[in-house]
Amino acid sequence: MDSQASKHRTWCERKAEKEIEECKKQNKKPRHRGLRKITPDRLLALDHIEKAKHNLGVLKLLRKNGFSDWSITAGFYSLYHCFLAIAVYFGYESKNQTCTISLIESLQEDGKISLRKEIVDFMKYEEEQNSHEDSILELREEYSYGIDLEVKNEEQLDKIESLCIELIDKTRETIYRDL
């Protein structure tokens, strides 16, 4: 029986196909908001890792200079670019965060990657997680759209920073393991 992540991944692939077909019918540039199979691209994956490292640097810089509210967003995108690196390495283009997370979960279920469940769960909304702590998506929305100018819980920032470092290392390990 297919898992929820596997079913959602299939739905995301079909969504992308339909949207691209619709664009073709309308003579528009092909666009989609799902998952599309592509040729695996290690070099593009490495570029995503560089972007993840860049965003981690931005997180640290913002945090150090009193802009901790925006460091949450930089942390989210550091983690997300690691997921995009893994996606493209395995031959997927993703244009949807939920689809990307489902892809990561299904690659994990298939034994193609090995990430701590805490990292994957942290990228989901609370109702999709097994825990009741804030996800980075919820924190990003809270601090991007809210009025707080600083993150009062330094432990949250410490956690995000350490998860970014861990995921960048794990992603790099995944990309280089077959060399």
* Cα–Cα distance measured from residue 70 to residue 15, given in angstroms and rounded to the nearest whole number: 32
pLDDT at position 1: 56
pLDDT at position 25: 87
In the chain, the domains with their CATH numbers are 40-176 (1.20.120.330)
Contact partners, residue 98, CB within 8 Å, separation at least 6? 8, 12
CA distance readout (Å), 44 to 74, 92, 110, 163, 166: 20, 11, 23, 22, 20
Reading phi first (left if > 0) and then psi (alpha if -120 to 50, else beta), residue 114 is in beta
Kindly report, residue by residue over 29-41, the tens digit of the pLDDT.
Answer: 888 888 999 999 9
Task: Please check whether residue 77 is in contact with residue 49, taking contact to mean a CB–CB distance below 8 angstroms.
Answer: no
- Residue 131: how many CB atoms within 10 A of its CB? 12
Kindly report, residue by residue over 118-147, the tens digit of the pLDDT.
Answer: 888 888 865 554 444 578 888 888 888 877
- Residue keyed to tokens 């990228």: 123
User: What residues in the chain have per-residue pLDDT under 70?
Assistant: 1, 125-133, 178-179
pLDDT at position 178: 66
